[in-house]
Chains A and B, each alone.
Chain A
Amino acid sequence: MAFHKINITINGGLEQVVVPSNMTLMQMLRENLALTGTKNGCSAGECGACTVLLNGEPVNSCMVLAVECDGTNIVTVEGLAGDQQLDPVQEAIIQSGGVQCGFCTPGILISARALLDRNPDPAEEEIREALVGNLCRCTGYVRIIESVKAAAKV
């Protein structure tokens, strides 16, 4: 199986990585770059725990080949916060009590950030729809939805 050398911007920094054909973006982030904030929940594009931004749009990183990401710009949960300041979606989910076990949280935050980027003032229905690909088993979603509403007001 062939290996490919790719150049990729991750959380603002340029990386060069050598990846085999069958490596997913999720595996590359977690295994090659130790960016373990991106979680592996199903490897099938169903749970959303591995959601990252690819050129500004959310994707299930388990459903993207690393080799396809040559020349792209990736943002993971580790890249959401600024130097000293959390992203408003991070701050809001803390304040709203939308974190429990925390395993779905990185993917939720990425989906929420992407939603607010394309729609700064979403209605509740739009928030629910935007999060439908992020399964959470702990919270019942109530406080997560509240947190996105709160972050939109920031």
Chain B
Amino acid sequence: MILDTHPALPEFEYIRPANLAEASDFLAQHPDTARPFLGGTDVFVRMRDGFMKPEFLVDVKNLDGTNELRFDSRTGLTVGAAVNMNRVIASPDVQAHYPLLAEACRSVASYQLRTRATIVGNLCNASPAGDTIGACLVFGGVLHLHGVSGPRQEPLSGFFRGPGKTTLKPGDIVTAIHFPIPPNGCVGKYIKLGRNQLSDLSIVGVTALGHKDSTCSSGYRFRLALASVAPVPLMPAEVETYLANNPLTPDAINEAARLASQACSPIDDVRGGARYRRQMVRNLSVKALTEVWKKLD
């Protein structure tokens, strides 16, 4: 309710743990009252709105390895939880090997917000509109987590459970996201349809990644991820399958886009209506897939 918005941040205790183990323990001991935070760009807004009322904010920046942005030509890219989006955008490794990730980051809000915003924060926030989620999904991101029983890894693909809901358990902290080496010669595209030219949240977001693949009958493999059109970020497998198994033509792309549009379940909200969103999933999927295809050939 609009009447609940606070003029400033309501009271809470700021906690800065010395290491990940301490952070996990504290969070596990206060499952309902403590929250980890990184840039705070979502948490602070939700606290002012009265949606979140944590008693403790646990600052997990600066903890073991969370500031690391590292590329290894054998294993891939690791983006630490505290690495802000501007750093990702400016990274020569990201620009060289994962330009789609930089493109997605660059579409988020404003430069000064991206000084604070992080990819891991964007993932943990689990908004269906999260701009970087699509790129993380199509690159096959793997989450590095730290919980009460120590570190572990989870694929991003099963992470989202609903708007704002993830598989994270009390005490879990995402320390980084890792991406394997992308397929050779792959091309990506993120199309974000916002109300403004830049800076807005997406009404619809379409992420496409494609590469040539002689193991499938069409000779191409595509991944498509959709934002703001379902309770969770969507990566419709039927699109991937269809484009792998049918000769790549404009008609095939139209059909794949139709499948994408069918796979989503958009709602009417202040940003846009369901009917429009479904249409846009189709049109923008055609656009993104076609653009990727053209660059591949």
Contact = CB atoms under 8 A, between A and B. Distances in A.
B25 interface: no
A45 B115 CA distance: 11
Given A1-B11, A21-B11, A65-B14, A45 B44 contact: yes
Return the 4 tightest CB-CB contacts between A and B, nearest first: A133-B110, A21-B14, A58-B112, A22-B9
A144 to B, nearest CB: 15
Contacts of B109: 45, 133
B88 to A, nearest CB: 14
B258 interface: no
B199 interface: yes
Given A44-B45, A58-B112, A59-B112, A21 B12 contact: yes
Interface string B73-91: 0000000000000100000
Given A23-B9, A48-B112, A63-B41, 9 more contacts: A21-B57, A22-B11, A24-B8, A24-B9, A58-B112, A63-B39, A63-B40, A111-B111, A133-B110
A40 to B, nearest CB: 9
Interface in A9-36: 20-24, 27
B13 A63 contact: no
B195 to A, nearest CB: 13
B41 A54 contact: no
Interface of B: 7-14, 39-41, 44-45, 48, 57, 59, 61, 86, 109-113, 115-116, 196, 198-199
A22 B111 CA distance: 24
B111 A58 contact: yes
Interface of A: 1-2, 4, 20-24, 27, 43-45, 48, 51, 54, 57-60, 63-65, 67-68, 111, 114-115, 128-130, 132-134
Given A45-B45, A64-B40, A68-B59, A132 B199 contact: yes
Contacts of B112: 48, 51, 58-60, 111, 114, 133
A48 B110 contact: yes
10 contacts: A1-B11, A2-B14, A21-B13, A44-B45, A63-B44, A65-B40, A111-B112, A128-B198, A132-B110, A132-B199
Contacts of A115: 111
Given A45-B41, A63-B116, A129-B198, A114 B11 contact: no
A22 B246 CA distance: 57
B13 A54 contact: no
- Centre residue among A27, A45, A67, A114 by max chain B CB count within 10 A: A45
A27 B6 CA distance: 14
